[in-house]
């Protein structure tokens, strides 16, 4: 006689729908697009939360991607504000701004509870050394004053030559103690430059995504898990895919989820990565 199946527990998700519980590890996704014009189904709250539940995402950092297409940053941020107010336990608001009209927008967003500003450097043709000093540095300084991180997306929506690695160098020179997170580092051929940048600046955080498995394994080995957060850019990419790839590269099984949660929590506090010490204690 076959053994009876164990009882299946069911709980109610953040969107009110019933879902099955499982042993799936819960992790933090630090880059989730809300209001993506090419994926209208995920522009609604319910489908977004169901996708998070299905992928084991306990907390997502959301930004109003619609502004990439419309340049209506105020409306995109307002939609994120409304979304997060409904589910503050699951969602963290990340603001987008027009870099040339960043103030007082940045201060207003931070006053409203936004936890960072994501700077999209690769959308448009505005990136010069002068503009980095003129617009990116003041945004970083405003975040640093509040012990918050700056998120810099190094590549555009169609990466061709990789990100501008001089940008974080200039920002670090002006803001030596800032918490800087590099995102949208997707182009495999650019990772030689990114790893060189990581060697020069040991306090940089890196948001990983899907890469060829051998390259991703090398990246994890050279960066170390203590400097990594994971961003799927849902719905552009399947979160299960990026998590499974990083899990294979890390080689620590379900322990990866707690590492990602802990690292994300440090970033939200504006802290640098933990560095190994002789006593293996955090000295920050």
What secondary structure letter does DSSP report for 270?
T
Instruction: Tell whether the model's pLDDT for residue 176 goes beyond 90.
Output: yes
Q: Where are the domains of the chain?
A: 23-268
- CATH 3.90.226.10 is the classification of domain 23-268: no
pTM score: 0.88
Instruction: Choose among 40, 62, 42, 61: nearest CA to 50.
Output: 42
Instruction: Tell whether the model's pLDDT for residue 16 goes beyond 60.
Output: no
What's phi and psi for 97, nearest 5 deg? -140, 155
Within 10 angstroms of residue 136's Cβ, the number of other Cβ atoms is 24
> Residue 229: helix, strand or coil by DSSP?
strand
Instruction: Tell whether the model's pLDDT for residue 284 goes beyond 60.
Output: no
Lowest-confidence pick of 2-11, 56-65, 274-283: 2-11
Q: What is the DSSP string of 162-213?
A: ---THHHHHHHHH-TT-EEEEE----GGGHHHHHHHHHH-TT-EEEE----H
Instruction: Tell whether the model's pLDDT for residue 122 goes beyond 90.
Output: no
What residues contact residue 197 under an 8 Å CB cut-off, 6+ apart? 165, 168, 169, 182, 204
Instruction: List the beta bridge partners of residue 219.
Output: none
| pLDDT of res. 277 | 41
| pLDDT of res. 79 | 96
Instruction: Tell whether the model's pLDDT for residue 132 goes beyond 70.
Output: yes
């Amino acid at each position: 006689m076959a053994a009876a199946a164990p009882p299946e527990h069911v709980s109610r998700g953040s969107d009110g729908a019933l879902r099955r519980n499982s042993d799936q590890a819960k992790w933090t996704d630090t880059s989730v697009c809300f209001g993506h014009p090419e994926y209208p189904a995920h522009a609604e709250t319910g489908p977004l939360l169901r996708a998070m539940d299905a992928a084991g995402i306990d907390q997502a950092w959301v930004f109003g991607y619609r502004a990439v297409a419309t340049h209506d940053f105020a409306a995109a941020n307002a939609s994120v504000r409304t979304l997060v107010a409904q589910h503050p336990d699951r969602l963290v608001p990340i603001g987008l701004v027009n870099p040339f009209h960043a103030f007082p927008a940045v201060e207003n967003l931070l006053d409203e509870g936004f936890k960072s500003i994501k700077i999209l450097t690769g959308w448009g043709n505005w990136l010069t050394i002068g503009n980095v000093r003129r617009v990116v540095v003041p945004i970083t300084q405003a975040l640093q004053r509040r012990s918050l991180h700056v998120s810099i997306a190094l590549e555009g929506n169609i990466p061709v030559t990789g990100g501008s690695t001089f940008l974080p160098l200039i920002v670090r020179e002006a803001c030596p103690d800032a918490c800087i997170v590099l995102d949208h580092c997707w182009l495999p051929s650019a990772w030689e430059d990114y790893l060189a940048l990581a060697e020069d600046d040991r306090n940089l955080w890196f948001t990983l995504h899907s890469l060829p498995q051998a390259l991703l394994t090398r990246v994890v080995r050279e960066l170390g898990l203590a400097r990594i957060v994971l961003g799927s850019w849902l719905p552009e990419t399947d979160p299960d895919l990026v998590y499974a790839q990083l899990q294979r590269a890390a080689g620590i099984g379900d322990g990866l989820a707690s590492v990602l949660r802990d690292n994300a929590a440090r970033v939200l506090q504006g802290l640098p990565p933990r560095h190994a010490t002789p006593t293996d204690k955090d000295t920050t």
